[in-house]
Structure 1
Amino acid sequence: MIGELARDLKREAERANQRRLLVLAGDRDRGIDAAYDAIEAVGVDDERVSIVSTREGFRFERVAPRAADELLGRTREVVVLDCHGRFVPNALGRAAGAVDGGGLLVLLTPPLEDWPERRDGFDESLAVPPFALADVTGRFRERLVGTIRTHPGVAVVDLGEAESGATGPGATRSGTTGSEATIRRDGLTDPPAARARSPPGRPATATFPAAVYEACLTADQSRGVRALESLATPGSAVVIESDRGRGKSSAAGLAAGALALAGHDVLVTAPAFRNAAEVFARAREVVGAGADDVEDDRTIRVADGGRVRFLPPAAAAELPDDPDCVVVDEAAALPVRLLERFLSAPAVAFCTTVHGYEGAGRGFSVRFRDRLAESEFAVRDVRLDEPIRYARDDPVESWIARALLLDARPSVPEAVAGTTVADVGYRTLPPDELLSDETLLGEAFGLLVAAHYRTEPNDLARLLDAPNLVARALVSGDRVVAVALLAREGGLDPETRAGMYEGERVRGNMVPDVLTSQLRDESAAESRGLRTVRIAVHHALRGRGIGSRLLEEVHDEFDEEVDHFSVGFGATPRLLRFWRRAGYRSVHLSTTRNDASGEHSAIMLRPESDAGKALLDRHAIAFRDRERDALSDAHRDVDADAARGVLAACSAPVSVDLTDHEWRAVVAASFGPGMYDVAPGAFRDLAIATLTGGGGAPTDTETGFDVDLDDREERLLVRKVLQGRPWESVADELEYVSTAACMRALGSATEPLVERYGTDFALAERDRFLDG
């Protein structure tokens, strides 16, 4: 019966060049046996089959759920997703994406009526201390089961429960005893046969070799390659957008290979190399025999000097070795600030998936596209709509988009246009209400997707099921205009805190973990905190104070429940200003950059109780003292404005304690003929005191405090005094006319520091020069 159903599904999928979903619901061992029966019935070679499972011992490729990324960029005829043991929403998206046209996606699930109430390894990851597994809910799977029971192209077989377990994968085969299998849905849709594709041919004005265009499978893909020819000309930018499976990465690879053959140095980047695997596979096909010996799988060299090479995003943004052009694949999965750095390339292509399994933040389409349009590049846009690996109207594509909310988006701008702070209302977003209201869920999750470059299917499950998370929103009428996703942290027992201090990872407690394990504060996880995981404002309403209003409402609601509020984010000047104005203060800056964002991560606290204030006070002081040295070491490459912002948000009191000898050197360099190099440590103490938020009364200036320096003078303190960069590079970066002028500017900048912090001895030394 199962074999016959699988054959029918496979024949229909092949005829329509679509995919079908077969759900085998019931006992796990019976499900594995049934999957073997289905695979044998459709006659697929084992090499074309993968199973995603926590079990081992299968005769075909097995991928662990946590490693489902390995399926990205690959195609399989059958993918089996074992949803027992550890059902990971991300793995569902990746498994579906790997199934080729004419193929089957097979899900092995518990009985559908029971599945939402069962708990597995993924649920354990949601049970973050102090919450227990019993606190995790099954709303995500309840919603998923609803889509399985109603979506076209989904076959459901009820296998029932076995009376005795099998001994291993495929061991019991069809002989397992228990209730008989029942087909609940056959999943057949009787679609029209797929139309044969006509080769698009080479455009008459094309410059790439004919073989490149002969490798294109659709007219859309050929148009993409034709647009990418412009990368040979400096000042050109290309944007290729598509849903998954439209061949954008293949088009980029074909173009990259052709450009390398023409002698160009093509730099490729993506969130991870696996995302760019298709680019390199197609580039190698084009280069073929023209490739030199391959030094590694991330570099293709051509005899006449051309090459295609890969670097991670943060490294690629430095444009090392001056590439002729850059290809950014999966661009929407990178933050806007990092994307902007590629606008310094001679020519650049941004290829992006509109609805992605890895997270496809719409910062690219909402914010970055405006900045690209304002650049000096001549921009060409290409949209790829024609699927390549399967036909249009593929039911598995529409099901996975619905099940994982891959197409979630905020309300249309016209629906919220003109909304002001005075128009909005504050409301909770209870998970049960989100589950029952698909429009509310779609708008709220769509805002989270739009706000962050790494929102992914796992986050949808966390929103619905994680006991430590709460969501709040601002609404205009019935439209969601801002969302905050908040995580309860801390309040941990002594045993858990001690384990964290010894290096044990405690899930879901990001800020307490950093403060305890990295910054060595064993009591940090005792106080109760509420961390802002995401905050999102509708793109049509940014700059109107709506995000600040949402935070104010959150603070008012929870101020008596928590000891402090917290946040962690990639430190940019704009975000540092936003959080400082909301009352948050710096306690940490990561020593390394995030590989994808290219930013150092900042952690900030806003105290609400005596315990929260004590936590902030001790970490602010430690941060102030740590940065005095870190800015010339691990933080030597931190952006000057980011350094200014993170120091301005530090609430530690000023600590300037110079000897008379040090004051003599500082005063002489400021008011007389002295030199900075005589006492660099003294200047560093003064710079930290000046730029740190505890240095004076808050104002509305960039740093917010009372020493009267302009922006360039503050950057000079960061670059030269705190980061210890060479005079020549500082003068060049800050646009002083000469090194000597830069040196004189530092002397002038330190004059008000002497006035602000100088002792009686220092002021007497100053008067000697002024009176002389």
Structure 2
Amino acid sequence: MDCRALVRSLRTEARRANERRLLVLAGDRDIGLETALDAVRASDDDSRVLDAGTGDSDSAADTDSTLVSTREVPGVETVEPRHASDLLGRTRRTVILDCHADFSPNAVGRTVGAVDGGGLFVLLTPPLDEWPDRRDDFDERLAVPPATVADVGGNFRRRFVGTLRDHPGVAVVRIDSDGNLVIERDGLTDPFPARERPAVEAPGTAEFPASVYEACLTPDQADAVATLEMLRNPNTAVVVESDRGRGKSSAAGLAAGALAAEGRDVLVTAPGYRNAEEVFARARAVLRDRGMLADGSPNADSPRLLIAESGGRVRFADPPEAVDLLASDPPDALLVDEAAALPVRLLSDLAGGPPVAFCTTVHGYEGAGRGFSVRFREHLAESDREVSAVRLDAPIRYAAGDPVESWAFRALLLDARPPVEQVVADATVDPDHTAGSGSLVYRALSPEDLLADEHLLREIFGLLVTAHYRTEPDDLARLLDAPNLRIRALCWQGHVVAVALLAREGGLPEDLRQSMYDGARVRGNMLPDVLTSQLRDVDAAIPVGQRVVRIATHHAVRSRGLGSHLLDEIHEEFAHEMDWLGVGYGATPDLLRFWSANDYGVVHLSTTRNDTSGEYSALMLRPTSDAGQQLHDRHADWFADRVRGLLSDPLRDLDPDVARSALRATDADPDTDRSPADWRVVVGASYGAGISAVSPGAFRPLAVAGIVDDLNGLDADEERLLVRRALQCHDWESVADELGFVSKAQCMRAFGDACKPLVDAYGTEVALAERDRLVGDETTE
């Protein structure tokens, strides 16, 4: 059998079963590409390979085949690997992924789902025996200074090659040194024929038009649309879950179009607009088919807006903007697509508005953080909303049991899970640290350990997925091959209950430090980069540290101290070989309290919000040497000094509880030195009849110091008042309204009362004498 015949056989079998097949052409790149294009063309006279690559969904829908490569081929739709996300939500008969120059696991995750039932996914690879030891552009990105590409491992590729050689439905053709094609595996499985799709009908209770249900391809999809009808009712929430390729976004789009046709305003949000393109495509089709799509909707000026003749609309906003719109321009219904790729805090904010649907991929490239499935689902269940849930199991693009889908899940660990609850439910921290079968075991895990134990690898990666809302296939390669990363875990009776991913940072040579200071980006050195380039500390990248990139505790044993215990073990291990331990994350009060309780101190708050999470980032350090202590102290002291300007300008909208928690987590000695004139104003506003407006700057250092020092006499409400008025400079009326005062005058009196502990603690002789005089006057009166 030659390669053309093999491709025909693979296609014939794939069509018969409505499945997909994977073809690997391993060897010379030019021969592999020529063979792939020739075999694909010859295997199906109807397939067309067009020169498109425009990224426009309508034109791309007419394209049968796509090449994903750094090399452009005339007459072929070619997409660069870094733009492979253009294929998300689209279908192709054939996708050819060139793995020679820039093999990114993300590109595999983005492209494999674009292949339709009966289609072919083709990988062009180096010789499989040699591939793990080769290095390409992706490895260059893993080579974090001071490491070089020679330090990058080949473990991910070694495991990846193993899946290609033994998974059903994968054909392997070797291109030998003479250019001959040798079929090593034919990939044929002799599957059962595909079953007929069951008919889809509108339920008897349907409120949406029958045509909306007729557009559904499976009963699962119709059930999802019927459940989404709940968005017509107040105080409701709908959760739609599915694996990739089940049609959840299409169902959401059908419902959005039906709601807009009724005259309702539907707001759609997702991590990025590309995630919501299918929602808009289906909503547009509903309105167009009903003759209700208004002229010019959408147009070049507003591609993210559909307007219905009824006055309804479907509009898109990024997640932080969507939260703001819930108050400023509230919609009638909210659709959140790829909800698991958003942090829990943001999901909670989005749940506070109109009827809302959260649609998410359970296992898939888009992100499947169990913050959604565990923590947020609990939050939603405890709310006063009527919650309905629906799950789509039947694939739409291909038949259930498709071998290429199960291969992708296995190769990229898209379905990795933490241990089941029952086996770790009794895990606790042993205060005596005694050994024994029931004790926690601290483990330093090497990539070789993980490769040798697939179960361990899946538990580790499954826990890391729960820790972060945007864990990607590239992260698996980093875990196994990046020279700057280390893995530390706590195990209970052989199962992982907590894991931390650490990144070595700093220790950079002088030339790199200077280039960083001059604005160059140095990969993988986040904390030194910020301290050097933004905060202008030319020596910040000299000390060497370990940054906690991710930390996760199994959800069944949270709040038992396991995360803190893991951090203590890490500190004990690295205290004598590193200068600092550090972390950077989206700041929330709970997280700031957690890291502060583990002796990490705030040295910086970012001045811009993360586009997806809507949070400002906190950078924290825990010194482990004299050099690390000096680095921490100079930045903590400077943060305590400059935070007054930060809060009154770029961080003026920072949540006051985040500001309070950040200040409490700052290990510094703030300056409270004020002039006699300033002290008389402060004392007058607190103990007398003075007003703060005549010298607002006099109060700011004192407010910072009081919160940093956790001053006795200041309660939480008084700290919020100091943050909003003294530090963020909000006007009295808005502060009074936000903090629940009945009037501006009451708010001003409370502010004066909040300043009394500041006078008592930091007042000079002049200040205390003025206080005593005013108190004496009050007593006399």
The interval holding the TM-score normalised by the smaller chain is: over 0.9
Instruction: Return the alpha-carbon distance in structure 1 between the equivalents of residues 331 and 734 of structure 2.
Output: 23
Give the 3-state SS of the residue equivalent to 2:532 in structure 1.
Answer: helix
Match of 2:56?
A: none
Runs of 4+ in 1 over 3 A off after TM superposition: none
Match of 2:34?
A: 33
Note if contact 1:2-1:37 (Cα within 8 Å) is conserved in structure 2. no
1:579 correspondence with 2:587: no
Note if contact 2:581-2:621 (Cα within 8 Å) is conserved in structure 1. yes
Q: Which shows bigger deviation, 61-70 or 628-637? A: 61-70
Aligned mate of 1:680, from 665, 690, 696: 696
1:45 correspondence with 2:48: yes
1:80 correspondence with 2:88: no
Give the 3-state SS of the residue equivalent to 1:78 in structure 2.
Answer: strand
Aligned ranges 1:155-170 → 2 under 5 Å: 155-161=171-177
Aligned ranges 1:370-449 → 2 under 5 Å: 370-422=378-430, 423-449=439-465
Give the 3-state SS of the residue equivalent to 1:441 in structure 2.
Answer: helix
Aligned ranges 1:734-749 → 2 under 5 Å: 734-749=739-754
1:365 correspondence with 2:373: yes
Match of 1:257?
A: 257
Match of 2:312?
A: 306
Deviations 1:455-487 (A, max 9, x none): 111010001001100000000111110000000
Match of 1:210?
A: 210
Aligned ranges 1:745-756 → 2 under 5 Å: 745-756=750-761
The one-letter code sitting in structure 2 at the alignment partner of 1:62 is: T
Match of 1:273?
A: 273
Instruction: Return the alpha-carbon distance in structure 1 between the equivalents of residues 282 and 39 of structure 2.
Output: 33
1:499 correspondence with 2:504: no
Aligned ranges 1:214-613 → 2 under 5 Å: 214-288=214-288, 289-292=291-294, 293-294=296-297, 295=299, 296-318=302-324, 319=326, 320-422=328-430, 423-613=439-629
Give the 3-state SS of the residue equivalent to 1:290 in structure 2.
Answer: coil
1:691 offset after TM fit, Å? 1.7
Q: Which shows bigger deviation, 14-23 or 724-733? A: 724-733
Instruction: Return the alpha-carbon distance in structure 1 between the equivalents of residues 633 and 72 of structure 2.
Output: 51
1:621 correspondence with 2:637: yes
Note if contact 2:338-2:367 (Cα within 8 Å) is conserved in structure 1. no
Note if contact 2:31-2:179 (Cα within 8 Å) is conserved in structure 1. no
1:706 offset after TM fit, Å? 2.9
Note if contact 1:199-1:216 (Cα within 8 Å) is conserved in structure 2. no
Instruction: Return the alpha-carbon distance in structure 1 between the equivalents of residues 401 and 594 of structure 2.
Output: 44
Instruction: Return the alpha-carbon distance in structure 1 between the equivalents of residues 368 and 508 of structure 2.
Output: 34
Note if contact 2:269-2:319 (Cα within 8 Å) is conserved in structure 1. yes
1:302 offset after TM fit, Å? 1.4
The one-letter code sitting in structure 2 at the alignment partner of 1:720 is: R
TM-score normalised to structure 2 length: 0.94
Match of 2:682?
A: 666
Match of 1:713?
A: 718
Aligned mate of 2:156, from 135, 140, 154: 140
What is the aligned length? 745
Give the 3-state SS of the residue equivalent to 2:127 in structure 1.
Answer: coil
Match of 1:8?
A: 9
The one-letter code sitting in structure 2 at the alignment partner of 1:657 is: D
Note if contact 1:527-1:611 (Cα within 8 Å) is conserved in structure 2. yes
Give the 3-state SS of the residue equivalent to 1:158 in structure 2.
Answer: strand
Give the 3-state SS of the residue equivalent to 2:36 in structure 1.
Answer: helix
1:201 correspondence with 2:217: no
Aligned mate of 1:632, from 648, 656, 662: 648
Q: CA RMSD in A?
A: 1.0
Instruction: Return the alpha-carbon distance in structure 1 between the equivalents of residues 640 and 90 of structure 2.
Output: 49
1:732 correspondence with 2:737: yes
Deviations 1:362-413 (A, max 9, x none): 1100110000000111000101000001100000000000000001000000
Give the 3-state SS of the residue equivalent to 1:526 in structure 2.
Answer: coil
Deviations 1:544-565 (A, max 9, x none): 0000000000000011111111
Match of 2:140?
A: 124
1:3 offset after TM fit, Å? 1.2
1:659 offset after TM fit, Å? 1.4
Q: Percent identity?
A: 62
Note if contact 2:637-2:670 (Cα within 8 Å) is conserved in structure 1. no
Match of 1:175?
A: none
Note if contact 2:20-2:404 (Cα within 8 Å) is conserved in structure 1. yes
1:618 offset after TM fit, Å? 1.3
1:199 offset after TM fit, Å? 2.6
1:57 offset after TM fit, Å? 3.0
Q: Which shows bigger deviation, 294-303 or 482-491? A: 294-303
Deviations 1:33-54 (A, max 9, x none): 1111122122311121111111
The one-letter code sitting in structure 2 at the alignment partner of 1:38 is: A
Give the 3-state SS of the residue equivalent to 1:344 in structure 2.
Answer: coil
Q: Which shows bigger deviation, 72-81 or 643-652? A: 643-652
Instruction: Return the alpha-carbon distance in structure 2 between the equivalents of residues 706 and 690 of structure 1.
Output: 5
Instruction: Return the alpha-carbon distance in structure 2 between the equivalents of residues 100 and 352 of structure 1.
Output: 21
Instruction: Return the alpha-carbon distance in structure 1 between the equivalents of residues 352 and 100 of structure 2.
Output: 48
Deviations 1:582-617 (A, max 9, x none): 111111111111011111011000111111111111
Give the 3-state SS of the residue equivalent to 2:399 in structure 1.
Answer: coil
Deviations 1:207-250 (A, max 9, x none): 00111001000000000000000101111100000000000000
1:762 correspondence with 2:767: yes
Note if contact 1:90-1:358 (Cα within 8 Å) is conserved in structure 2. no
1:135 offset after TM fit, Å? 0.8
Instruction: Return the alpha-carbon distance in structure 1 between the equivalents of residues 94 and 179 of structure 2.
Output: 27
Instruction: Return the alpha-carbon distance in structure 2 between the equivalents of residues 98 and 38 of structure 1.
Output: 20
The one-letter code sitting in structure 2 at the alignment partner of 1:714 is: E
Instruction: Return the alpha-carbon distance in structure 2 between the equivalents of residues 140 and 735 of structure 1.
Output: 56
Note if contact 1:199-1:214 (Cα within 8 Å) is conserved in structure 2. no
Note if contact 1:324-1:345 (Cα within 8 Å) is conserved in structure 2. no
Instruction: Return the alpha-carbon distance in structure 2 between the equivalents of residues 729 and 546 of structure 1.
Output: 42
Give the 3-state SS of the residue equivalent to 1:591 in structure 2.
Answer: coil
Note if contact 1:707-1:753 (Cα within 8 Å) is conserved in structure 2. no
Note if contact 2:364-2:415 (Cα within 8 Å) is conserved in structure 1. no
Deviations 1:669-704 (A, max 9, x none): 101111121111011121111122xx3xxxxxxxxx
Structure 1's unaligned 5+ residue stretches are 162-177, 696-704
Note if contact 1:240-1:352 (Cα within 8 Å) is conserved in structure 2. yes
Give the 3-state SS of the residue equivalent to 2:730 in structure 1.
Answer: coil
The one-letter code sitting in structure 2 at the alignment partner of 1:737 is: V
Match of 1:170?
A: none
Give the 3-state SS of the residue equivalent to 1:592 in structure 2.
Answer: coil
Give the 3-state SS of the residue equivalent to 2:89 in structure 1.
Answer: coil
Match of 1:187?
A: 187
Structure 2's unaligned 5+ residue stretches are 50-62, 431-438
Match of 2:776?
A: 771
Deviations 1:301-343 (A, max 9, x none): 1123211100011111222401111100000001111100012
Give the 3-state SS of the residue equivalent to 2:541 in structure 1.
Answer: coil
Q: Which shows bigger deviation, 193-202 or 454-463? A: 193-202
